[in-house]
Every structure is written in structure tokens, then in C-alpha cells.
Amino acid sequence: MKILFKLTVAAVTCLLVSNISIAQSPKARTNKEILMETVINPDNRVVIKWVSQEEHQSARFIVQRSKDNDTFFDIREIDVKKTVNGDQPQRLQFAFTDVKMLRNTEYYRIMEYDYDGEVYVYSTMAIKPTSPVSIIKSGESSIVRVMVEDSKNLTALMSTESGLGVPCEFELSDNNDVILKPAYSLNGGSYLVKLRSSAGEKQIKFSVKADDLL
């Protein structure tokens, strides 16, 4: 009886290990299969859009993010609900906006869990900020945020491209980014931010689009 018991425990252990191994080895899928696309908002936040396919029988999607393309963390879980008769529509559109503002290159990917128990992982996307300057809508006005490497003894001035000064309140964020709060609402067009510190002077050009002000 003792030998049979040991064999049974060993068999159960092997079965559990096998199941864990299967769960940790999702099947690869390409982003084209779900028409995935990424957009970076004017405030340097990532927007991921995709479309589910009926033949996938999707139960839920999980959006993951990583700083090193090695260790990924779940940042959003999205359930896919079936219709009353149990069938999914042919296509469902999804959009996810990351609340975290991009400062450096980040890696994103999507995991898909099907109703039949299968798990899939889509191709990893490396996304970096399009500009060190972000336009953030705040009430009726806009805030200009500038990512800097060194904020020691830093001052910042803002002007239009033609050289007309734009009066702003100046402060540093918790990440030591420059925060400029214009005294009046910005119009669409090109602007300059001049950063001055003990290391020297740097000038950054950026554009404000009409969509940024909505």
C-alpha cells in the first residue's frame, strides 16, 4: 500500500508540473491577426487599439508592460463578453490608454485567453516618446511638460517660434520634469522652450495642434 501511495503522489505531481508548464508556455501570434496599432498621444501616453476575431473565441485580453523587455507586468485586464445566445460578434474593437506617461522606451504586449483554455501572446512592441515635450490639457488651459535629464539650477523660458515670449509659471514635477503653465491658452502653432542650467543652454522646438487643445 505504501508503494502504491508513493506512485500516486508522483503521478499527481507530474500532472501538476505538466499543467503548470503548459500554462506558462503561451502560443505566439502576430499583431496583424488582430489589426493592432499603437498611437502616442500629445502627452506621451500610449494608446493601443486592436480588433478581436470571431474564430479566436476570446475570453479576455491582458495588456502588459515592461522596462527591459524581459519582465512584464499586467496593467489592464479586459473581459470579452459573449452575446445572449452565447456567440461573439464577428469583430469587437478595443482601445487601451496607458495612464503612465512615457519617459523612456517601454515594451508592451497583449496576452489573449480563449474560452477553450488556450493562451496566446502577441508580438512585443517597443515604444518610445515622440518628443521630450508633452502637452497636457488642464481645464480650459494647457500645461507644457518637458522631460529633462538634470534639473539642477534649471530655468526655463517659453516663446513662439518667431520669438514672442509666452509668460508661464515654472515648477518642477516629482520626476524633476519642467512644468510650464502658460498665462493664457495656447493657439495652434510652433513654440520654443529654452532650458538654461549650469551645464549650458538647450532649445527645444515643439508644435501645438488644434486637436491638442480640445
pLDDT, tens only, 158-197: 999 999 999 999 999 887 889 999 998 888 889 999 999 8
pTM: 0.67
Instruction: Please return the burial class of 81, using the count of CB atoms within 10 Å of its CB with bins 0-12, 13-18 and 19+.
Output: exposed
pLDDT in tens, 125-141: 999 888 888 888 777 77
Q: Which three cell numbers stand for residue 39?
A: 498611437
Q: What would you measure as the largest C-alpha separation in the chain, in angstroms?
A: 91
C-alpha neighbours within 13 Å on the C-beta side of residue 144: 31
The DSSP secondary structure of 51-95, one letter per residue, reads EEEGGG-EEEEEEEEESSSSS-EEEEEEE----TTSPPPSEEEEE
**pLDDT at residue 213 above 80?**
no
5-18 mean pLDDT: 43
Say if residue 52 is in the same domain as residue 114: yes
User: Which DSSP letter does residue 165 get?
Assistant: B
Q: How far apart are CA 160 and CA 189, in angstroms?
A: 8
Say if residue 149 is in the same domain as residue 120: no
**pLDDT at residue 63 above 90?**
yes
Q: What is the structure's pLDDT at 210? A: 63
Q: How far apart are CA 145 and CA 177, in angstroms?
A: 7
The structural domain count of the chain equals 2
Say if residue 115 is in the same domain as residue 42: yes
Say if residue 30 is in the same domain as residue 122: yes
Q: Specify if 7 maps to a domain.
A: no
Q: What is the structure's pLDDT at 121? A: 96
154 vs 9 pLDDT, higher one: 154
Domain of residue 70, residue span: 26-127
Say if residue 101 is in the same domain as residue 183: no
H or E segment at 9? helix 2-23
What CATH number is associated with residue 163? 2.60.40.10
Q: Which three cell numbers stand for residue 157?
A: 523660458
Say if residue 117 is in the same domain as residue 143: no
Say if residue 120 is in the same domain as residue 51: yes
Which residue has cell 512592441?
A: 125
Q: Specify if 10 maps to a domain.
A: no
Say if residue 103 is in the same domain as residue 180: no
89-112 mean pLDDT: 87
User: Which of 20-29, 52-61, 67-76 comes out lowest in average pLDDT?
Assistant: 20-29
Say if residue 108 is in the same domain as residue 175: no
Q: Specify if 61 maps to a domain.
A: yes
Percent of the chain with pLDDT over 70: 82
